Structure 1
Amino acid sequence: MSFNKALFLAIVVIIIDQISKIYIKTTYAIYGGFEVLGLDWFRIHFIENEGMAWGVELPGNYGKLLLTVFRIIAVAGIIYWLNDSVKKKGSKILIVAIALILAGAVGNIIDSVFYGVLFNDSHGQIATLFSDEPYGTWFHGKVVDMFYFPIWRGNLPNWLPFWGGEQFTFFNAIFNVADVAISVGVGLLILFNKKVFK
């Protein structure tokens, strides 16, 4: 697979990611959404986070800025890895996996870098693109997540240590297209590691 084809794949995924995020952000207020096909376990549920996996935040005033700068450096490394793998005629699976990881990383970086100055606040209202009153500053945007699969909800058995009797939701994570791309890319590397890393 050529570098240009891999880059095209990444760009397509980034466009899908950004269209879905902009649609959700300009259609629903925060925590808004709907059940997909009337299924209780597949929902579109709009939330925002500071940009780390599972909504983890770095402490301090510069935590978000450091995270975004780190991501930009990581993307440069991923682009180098992709180019190097193409030059060395790496397997198609490897190149597709790297392209997906690249697309996911760039997709979430766009939110972090630009969304703070492009949109107004989503709390209690639907956000406006190119708002005169943006909610943040450059490099301090929040990442838009929307896919929610609460497959099972209930109380855990009392005999379980620590969490017995507490309410639990199996698959509580809320994520976006960029997160899916990263997960699929990493999954391909793990699943086909013997073929990919000869």
Structure 2
Amino acid sequence: MEYIKTRNELRTAFEATHDVAERKVLRFIDGHSRRFIEKSPFLLIGSQDASGNGDVSPKGDFPGFVKIIDKNTLAIPDRPGNNRLDTWENIIENPGVGLIFMIPGMNETLRINGQARLTLDKDLCSQMQVNNRPAKAVLIVKILEVYMHCAKAFIRSKLWSPNTWSPRTDMPTLGKMLKDHASLSETASELDDILDKAYRNSLW
């Protein structure tokens, strides 16, 4: 199998970028992107370490959980998780991040690229508390690019159409998958109990 090695090879294999796609990129948060962020309960963060190893991590909370500090700066709260800290370690080595914001039921997404730093600032963590529990940390993103992404991927996948969804029972429980993935000593039931307890007691 041959692979594309140069930008020229790549561009030759595809049609020219549509003019609108070239011109749609902003360098700041405008009114529409502000409203999108305020309505969004979910985003994905893409990051890389210094060696270029990639990672994508989901972040979810109440709609508007991402704080807009100004038209060039976002603050994303960190909530209790598994403490692998993959994204945070990557950002310490390489601050470049890509964000995709989603609104349930909406096929278009908002994309933001920028440079990120992590802070444990007590005042800011307190401002982003839920149920009297401050954020564990806050990711500050300095914005470089803001743009809307069209709906094609969501239309093709019918992502928000319940009648196309597979029954949950088509897949085993997460405890069962973890047990099989890593040959863990705990039973699948024990792992599911651990997860259920975490879902009940440590979302925030």
The TM-score by the shorter chain falls in which range? Answer: under 0.3
The structure with the largest alpha-carbon Rg is 2
Whose strand proportion is higher, 1 or 2? 2
Whose helix proportion is higher, 1 or 2? 1
Question: Which protein has greater RCO, CA pairs closer than 8 Å, 6+ apart?
Answer: 1
